[in-house]
Amino acid sequence: MTQTSSNISNSTLLPAKAIGTISAISGSKASVLLVAPADAGAAVQDKGPFIGTLLTVDTTTAVVLCLITSLKVPDNSLDDKTARTRVAEVELVGELKRESDGYLRTFTRGVSVYPRLGDDVLEASRTVLEKAYHFGSFSAIEIGNIRQDPTIPAALKVDEMLSKHFAIVGSTGSGKSCTVALVLRTVLASHPNAHMVMLDPHNEYGDCFGDATELINPGNLNLPFWILTFEEIVEILIGNGEAHPDEVDILRDFIPVAKRMFAASQEGAQKTARQPGNGRRSKFTVDVPVPYRMSDLIGLIDAETGRLEMQKDLRPFKKLRARIDSIRRDPRYNFMFANLTLQDDFALLLKRLFRIPVDGKAITVVQLMGLPSEIVNVVVSVLARMAFDLALWSDGRMPVTFVCEEAHRYVPCERCGFRARPEKRRQAGWIALLSGLSLYLLYADARRRRPGHQGVPVFLAAGYEKKPRA
Ligand SMILES: Nc1ncnc2c1ncn2[C@@H]1O[C@H](COP(=O)(O)OP(=O)(O)OP(=O)(O)O)[C@@H](O)[C@H]1O
Ligand SMILES: [Mg+2]
């Protein structure tokens, strides 16, 4: 049976005239055949529904809320000026459940009873909009007004948003960066002790958050090479490790030795360092983040080169040695290789990056412009890994919001070009749900850059609800 405004118990909630009917429904989507403009209500004639307009369908037990995601005139009616058939594709975003006395409750996600074919569709009335966008007792921040009715505030439920992953997507120039700046500024105003890290590939957020910003750039970043995992140091020193297996083997053999040498020198027992298998130091693997000297690594490579002279192909040793030399001389790599006073300042780095203590600067903006392009992916990977580890080992007690501007560059995606540690980042993404790391993704033109994704040309904040696998 078709629902009309006359059989809605609370008749003041919805405008009198339907603007269309449900013509197809599948999953969480539906098509609405819009009535011809001449037959529609005045409001529709004047403005017409636009993308983002909230529509309603009454299913007796609830008022289902539908958000317009696309509008079209079917091809076969393009020439017929009188017919002008128009179709709106809508997403069934949730519903206002109806109590037995007809009272409508506030918004809940999901739809308990689907609309049926032929059901009337109406534009949401002011009362419905108020209920749909009502934030009740949640801690919420106002970031503006909703477009459909500028008298109704648009608010974000901060705690709910930051306890999940969320994304802002939109086509180029649609206002993603401005939205992020606005959202984060508002969150910071109400949560001055938050811990936020923002990756800023275009250096555009440096002035956005005023005194609350800890600004990190290649000039003041100290990210020692020894905190890199083996895969990451291979990417920097060798590039594509699969193409140069001999050089990878050299690093695999000598990095643990260099680590043992440094630890032994710290303990004043240099002599014993070269003997493998003695106590704690023998447990140093290529991935353990303990300090070692690049000069020790070079010394080991040189010693081996001299020992093997005339016995073996020395090209991998020489190529690796040359690459290490050129990187150490390149000023763009100073943030990683220039620090001559080698000490275990990992804790200081963590404190600075993740604002422990906050000390009035709740957000760290990491400006990536100026970093060698071939190393940006590794730096991002290290920062993401540190955020993940911190959230995991603090058991969620220290929530961190990790904001990725231009996320298509970092999020695992075969076509995105970022090869470094995709598994780690994917793992971080899911496990972080349990451990207090919220990942804030900013996609530019999602449809163009991530084939298979639905492009959304307007502001959209989305939270993943999927639970990680145990
Ligand atoms: N709500 C708004 N109203 C009017 N103009 C806006 C609004 N938000 C952003 N703009 C303007 O739109 C332009 C693009 O904004 P912004 O840089 O945030 O877009 P973007 O989606 O991040 O673009 P890109 O994909 O290139 O990074 C800017 O000039 C900005 O001033
Ligand atoms: Mg932008």
SS3 sequence of 334-359:
HHHHCCCCCCCCHHHHHHHHHCCCCC
Domains of the chain (ranges plus CATH)? 5-132 (2.40.10.170), 155-222+345-463 (3.40.50.300), 225-337 (no CATH)
DSSP-assigned letter for residue 267: T
The residue ranking higher by pLDDT, 121 or 80, is 121
Mutate to test the pocket of ligand 1, among 145, 171, 178 (most ligand atoms within 8 A of CB): 178
Give how far the C-alpha of residue 334 lies from the chain's centroid of Cα atoms, to the nearest Å.
28
Ligand 2 centre and the CA of 309: distance in Å? 54
Instruction: Tell me if the bond preceding 192 is cis, omega within 30° of 0.
Output: no
pLDDT digits (tens, 9 = 90+) for 418-446: 343 444 443 333 333 333 455 555 544 33
What are the DSSP calls for 13-36, one per residue? GS-SS--EEEEEEETTEEEEEEPP
Kindly report the average pLDDT of the chain as a whole number: 76
List the structure tokens of 100: 């037995």
What mean pLDDT is predicted for residues 153-165?
80
Q: Are 383 and 405 in contact (CB under 8 A)?
A: no
Give the ligand whose atoms come closest to the C-alpha of residue 444.
Answer: 1
Residue 218 CB less than 6 A away from ligand 1: no
Beta-sheet pairing, 400-404 with 437-444: parallel
Quick check: helix, strand or coil at residue 458?
coil
Ligand 1 centre and the CA of 169: distance in Å? 12
Predicted TM-score (pTM) of the model is 0.73
User: Exposure pattern of 110-137 as b/e (b: 16+ CB <10 Å)?
Assistant: ebeebbeeebbbbbbbeebbbbbbebee
Question: Looking at residue 408, what is its pLDDT?
Answer: 66
pLDDT digits (tens, 9 = 90+) for 374-413: 888 888 888 888 888 887 787 777 788 888 887 766 554 4
pLDDT digits (tens, 9 = 90+) for 337-359: 876 555 657 788 889 999 999 99
Residue 176 CB less than 6 A away from ligand 1: yes
Give the ligand whose atoms come closest to the C-alpha of residue 445.
Answer: 1
Question: Looking at residue 77, what is its pLDDT?
Answer: 58
Residue 275 has pLDDT above 60, yes or no: no
Reported confidence tier of residue 171, pLDDT bands at 50, 70, 90: confident
Ligand 1 atom at shortest distance from the alpha carbon of 444: 25
Cα 57 from Cα 59, distance rounded (Å): 6
Give how far the C-alpha of residue 36 lies from the chain's centroid of Cα atoms, to the nearest Å.
42
Reported confidence tier of residue 95, pLDDT bands at 50, 70, 90: very high
List the structure tokens of 35: 């009535």
The residue ranking higher by pLDDT, 16 or 368, is 368
pLDDT digits (tens, 9 = 90+) for 211-235: 999 999 988 888 889 888 898 899 8
The residues facing 155 across adjacent strands are 142
Give the ligand whose atoms come closest to the C-alpha of residue 456.
Answer: 1
Give how far the C-alpha of residue 421 lies from the chain's centroid of Cα atoms, to the nearest Å.
16
